[in-house]
Structure formats: C-alpha cells, structure tokens
Amino acid sequence: MITRRSLRSTEEPLGPSEPIREQEDDETDDIEHIDRKVPPKIMRLTQHLHNMIYIRFFYEQIGQQPPDWTKRELTRAEGALVEELEREEGQGGAFHIRRRR
C-alpha cells in the first residue's frame, strides 16, 4: 500500500536551505538516487555521448554537415560506452541486476 505524504500548509513556505523532502531515500519501493545506481564511468560516458549528439544537432540545425571529427568522436564514444556496459554486465554489476527486474 502506498501512503501519500500530506502537503505543508501554504502559511509555511520552504526556506532556501530547507530540503524539499525530509529524506530523499524513503520511497516505499526503495529506489535509490540515480547517482548511486549508475556507475560513475558509465554516467560520464553517457553524458559525453549526449554532448556529442547535441553538437551534431546544432550543426544540422543551421543546415551544415557536422565536421568529420564529430562523426569520429560519436563513433568512438558510442563504442566506449557499449564496451563499458558489457564489461560492467560481465562483472555482474548492480546496474544491470536492477535494470533486469
């Protein structure tokens, strides 16, 4: 059974240093924060790949072909991410165990 938290009254607004939730990890299904779920290397590689996709999008948005270096870096970043995901899965990482549930 999921219990809902009651909202604070509007007479008591949150202060700038007051947390939005009293405890971040008190969810009923025990979901952890994303930074603790995903290994740091996979997070960095994913962010880098996202940045490269964004750079390519900007070039295409202004009607130009992306430079060759962006295409090479996209290929390299994707390969590195896939390799790291496979390595982490081969080690029985917690990221893959949770993902398969």
**Cβ contacts of 32 within 8 Å, gap of 6 or more:** 25
d(CA 90, CA 3): 38
User: Is 81 domain-assigned?
Assistant: yes
Low-confidence ranges of the chain (pLDDT < 70): 1-32, 34, 93-101
Q: Quote the pTM value.
A: 0.59
Q: Is residue 26 part of a domain?
A: no
- 59 domain-assigned: yes
pLDDT at 16: 64
The answer to whether 42 and 83 have CB atoms below 8 angstroms apart is no
- Residue 88 to residue 98: CA distance in whole angstroms: 13
| Domain coverage including residue 50 | 34-99
Q: Which pLDDT score is estimated for 18?
A: 61
pLDDT of residue 26: 45
Number of domains comprising the chain: 1
Q: Is residue 45 part of a domain?
A: yes
Residue 50: helix, strand or coil by DSSP? helix
Q: Is residue 29 part of a domain?
A: no
Please report the pLDDT score of residue 54 as a whole number: 95
Amino acid code (one letter) for 58: F
- Asked if the structure places residue 27 within a domain, the reply is no
In a domain, 6, yes or no: no
Question: What is the Cα–Cα distance from 16 to 28, expressed in whole angstroms?
Answer: 27
